[in-house]
Chains A and B, each alone.
Chain A
């Protein structure tokens, strides 16, 4: 029964995808939306049931849906693994996914590509579910590629917009770099273990040599970096904001970008063997968390600020993975899914209210006009900034505390500064959007309206989750969440050092102080003295410009990779045109030349021979025809001459050849 439920989870969105994709043009948008939403809702219900079963029995279930590849040493099934980790991921993906689908019905209302949008969204759900449920690397990889494809399709949803098409291509290409690393990791795993099943791989993981473990871990990390937008492959995520806002919320905040974190946690057995790889993961995470937060400080596009915030928060998760705080990383993944989806969706609501405006410099004073959106956005801000006791506080604090307790002080400092910046830029965003005086056109200001209930409803639910989402993880390191997840991540986890209650509480206090400081600065700059912000920016123009231009990373990549690649492409184009085509044309011309030569020989040699015969006949005839003078006398003379000769011949013949006859004549 449970097995059937497990199989049903990805089948619901798959059916909806096929229905809407193949027949969607035959019925109204309304029906398409209902099909898409209800399929995800059913998947969520099934996930809940599976979760309940997992809670009751605690049995790790493996369900084989289909024997996919078998032959020789290679045995790969399309099979699902349900353990606490995939249960959490399932709930996050289907739950948040369901809310975002509901929201999308309101948000995308009246769009021409409404059905197409939901078709892609359902395909995304299928892929994401395969990704989190797969019991081997290949199913994971299929999901991995599937979500990448859907990400591409949905970023480029407004395909007639050049920037969207370019952003989609960029996301896809950058992701391919990561995917290449991931593929290498899969090959290495198969080379070392002869199988791709998680359970077998992880149970034999300890036999790996340290170097091989590091190699696999680093290759996996490359994949995770690409998908989860970490340094140095994060550049696609801010551009991905070209897609519709629900897409940003679902794919580029709550679910797909966390796939890298999920993958690392899933493979913790391999990472545990390689301290080097762990350190690199932690450093990548910490650097990204800080780096992206600094860029987020000065961006003016509401969605881009949130995008950099996402990159930064993903950095926290990587940091957590890197220091062995897998539970904390997944915990943060979950709470982040709640509040970042909330933030994106309420940003979408703001954009919706303003008729497409995304620049926060042209917002302001929206608090009274769209109170619901304001309220939920504020809750999201509080949650991500880490204000007690909202969701973000518990999960972020746990990662930071873990870093501090395990003496990763540098990483802790990075995370702490990142937290300060996070708090600052989020409150800056809130103040600029909802407070102060209205800076939009008067014409636009008149049309500001609160979003419909289908959009507000999911927002309220997500706001509730953002408030209470942290409580499963209370008390830190020992909450319900940790006990539930323990079987999935415990094996090989480092021994917990004894932590005094005092340290825990004081770390929480520090975190709260950090968050409040960021809030305070933002409050001062954007509420108390709104002109101060520009003054500060003017004081350090170099810093401001660098941050505003995102450290010129895009330009650097263009210079280092994109342009040389284009040049290389042009060089190959030249090579193709000149050398390859030259050879082909050469062969053609040689044939043509040969044909010309044959023609020439035929004309001038063979015909000449024939003509010589003809002409010589002609010439001979010219001589001999003189015999035919036409004069009767000539003919008569010739006849006489002939007769004369004949008579002589006969006489000679008779006289010498036939002597007896000659005698008789005498």
Chain B
């Protein structure tokens, strides 16, 4: 039996990996993928606690999260395509118009 702490540890490692990817990588698509990793870390957590607490609520929420992640990926990719058409680039550092 795999203890809960192992799930939580995997989840934490995945989350940290995603977070670092979001903060460090310049490519928009990679950043989007890193966000997906963080969402999945959360999903592992939810499912692990659901199994540990013997409650189905966590797993249902995980399903919601997967649906939302799909939506989010669709919207994110659409934005990336639009931006790419204007900028000919997917470098996040060049997307700096939202400032003073």
Contacts and interface: CB of A to CB of B under 8 A. Distances in A.
B52 interface: no
B95 interface: yes
Contact of A629 (B19, B22, B31, B96): B96
A542 interface: no
Contacts of A637: 23
Interface string A633-659: 100110010000000000000000000
A630 interface: yes
B69 to A, nearest CB: 17
Contacts of A636: 22-23
A625 interface: yes
Contact of A630 (B22, B23, B31, B96): B96
A240 to B, nearest CB: 99
A631 B19 contact: no
Contacts of A631: 92-93, 95-96
Contact of A628 (B19, B31, B99): B99
A638 to B, nearest CB: 11
A628 B93 contact: no
Contact of B23 (A625, A628, A629, A640): A640
Contacts of A630: 95-100
Contact of B95 (A625, A628, A632, A640): A632
Interface residues of A, number: 10
A643 to B, nearest CB: 10
Contacts of A633: 23, 92-93
Nearest to A622: B100
Contacts of B23: 633, 636-637, 640
A211 B19 CA distance: 131
Interface string B1-25: 0000000000000000001001100
Interface in B72-100: 92-93, 95-100
Nearest to A632: B92
Contact of A625 (B22, B92, B97, B100): B100
Contacts of B95: 630-632
B19 A640 contact: yes
A630 B31 CA distance: 16
A628, A631, A637, A640: which has the most chain B beta carbons within 10 Å? A631
A170 B45 CA distance: 127
A632 B92 CA distance: 7
A629 B23 CA distance: 15
A633 B22 CA distance: 7
7 contacts: A625-B100, A629-B99, A630-B96, A630-B99, A630-B100, A633-B92, A633-B93
Interface of A: 625, 628-633, 636-637, 640
Smallest CB-CB A-B distances: 8 pairs: A630-B99, A630-B96, A625-B100, A628-B99, A628-B100, A630-B98, A632-B92, A631-B96
Given A628-B99, A631-B96, A633-B93, 6 more contacts: A625-B100, A629-B96, A629-B99, A630-B95, A630-B100, A633-B23
